[in-house]
Amino acid sequence: MTESSKYNRRSILKAGVGLAASAVPAAAMSDPAPVTPANPEGPFYPKHEQVDKDTDLTLIDGHTERAQGQVIRVTGQVLDDEGKPVEGALVDIWQANARGRYHHEDDPATAPEDPNFQGWGMVKTDAEGRYAFTTIKPGAYAVNESWSRPPHIHFKVSRRGFHEITTQMYFAGESLNESDKLLQSVAEDARGLLTVDFQETDGLPHGHFPIVLAKVV
């Protein structure tokens, strides 16, 4: 079964169209913070446990070699819809390797796996709602003959008392963003809120991706 057929079966083009929060510190936010847009989980969320799923996806515990590709740093802050930090939120990320292949048994891609790439990481936010990951920039990959996905990282964020959010983070300046069916399914004025501009900091490309959760009422 192709990735395209799995997308169709799951009806993943029915993405949410809410708005995300900007990277403004919580204390400075006076108006209610708009909730981060949903974007589909896709078919490659990890099925099985793995021993190492810490915040450094570039080095698997027990390995001596690091993952192939451009190392990047992704940070962010999880806020509630009043702009307050959410402590203890579980931030769960997964992604393709530098050649555009997931470490997942259902990925039909012919690109090689990277045995040194972790592919999946989890962390809980601190008292200020902050999280951070070290990973590699994922590669683009073809879904079918007419659609190639741009580099992206999947996020699932949950905390008791809040509605769970599943979304995707995109990289600014990627030409494939303009034709990606999943990014384009988000409301036009919200697409930029899922798109992160990476800037070099301390020798590594660094991107900040804030996430806003809606409280359960």
Indicate which residues carry an active-site annotation.
Answer: 102, 141, 149, 152, 154
Instruction: Quick: pLDDT tens for 188-210.
Output: 999 988 999 999 999 999 999 99
User: Count of residues for the chain?
Assistant: 217
Instruction: Quick: pLDDT tens for 2-11.
Output: 333 333 323 3
Write the burial class of residue 91 (CB in 10 Å: 0-12 exposed, 13-18 middle, 19+ buried): buried
The pTM score is: 0.85
Looking at the predicted structure, is the pLDDT value of residue 44 above 80?
A: yes
Instruction: Quick: pLDDT tens for 107-160.
Output: 988 899 999 999 999 999 999 999 999 999 999 999 999 999 999 999 999 999
Amino acid 8: pLDDT: 33
The phi-psi region of residue 20 (left if phi > 0; otherwise alpha if psi is between -120 and 50; otherwise beta) is: beta
Cβ atoms 180, 191 nearer than 8 A: no
